[in-house]
Amino acid sequence: MSSPENGTEFPRNRQPTMRTVAMPADTNPYGQIFGGWIMAQMDLAGSVLAIEYAQGRVATVAVHSMEFHQPVTVGDLVSSFARIERIGTTSITVRVEVFAQRPALCVKVTEAVIVYVAVDGEGQRRPLPEHEPAFQSVYG
């Protein structure tokens, strides 16, 4: 049974990090939305938090535990919710959950844990900036 506590229900108490509509151009040869398109949405949503926290450029260094629970269909309203799970010295670990809404249905379709590293203008890792606890709590 899904509930807000186990994270399978649409989290109405949180703002999505990104929302978009799945379009016909994003389908695979079988008419479902291409998994790579969803992965790109997740990477973008995670990077929104990472860039904000790092106050600048980040690089995606790892994608852990990517799971596809349900297919996405043309016309679905796709909402990505990102939450920072861990702050390291140069890395930010973000959990991204994606929900698809269509008439009379709202399902969690994918989730993943993505690691970003703060990089400088040459693409080399750099330490994350210090933040006040109040700033950090916005992302937790």
Ligand X SMILES: CC(C)(COP(=O)(O)OP(=O)(O)OC[C@H]1O[C@@H](n2cnc3c(N)ncnc32)[C@H](O)[C@@H]1OP(=O)(O)O)[C@@H](O)C(=O)NCCC(=O)NCCS
Residue 48 phi/psi, 5-degree rounding, is -60, -50
Query: Residue 84 or 115: which CB sits closer to ligand X?
Result: 115
Q: Are 51 and 123 in contact (CB under 8 A)?
A: no
Per rule CB under 6 A, is residue 40 in the interface with ligand X? no
- The interface region with ligand X, picked from 5-13, 45-53, 88-96, 132-140 by CB under 6 A, is 88-96
Among the listed residues 44, 48, 51, 61, the single contact to ligand X using CB under 6 A: 61
Q: Which two tokens stand for residue 67?
A: 């799971």
Angle at the Cα of 115 from the Cα atoms of 26 and 77, rounded to 5 degrees: 30
Does 117 engage in binding with ligand X (CB under 6 A)? yes
Residue of 33, 55, 21, 51 lying closest to 114 (CA atoms): 51
Q: Based on the shown chain and the rule CB under 6 A, indicate whether residue 119 belongs to the binding site for ligand X.
A: yes
The residue ranges that bind ligand X (CB under 6 A) are 59-62, 88-91, 115, 117, 119, 123-125
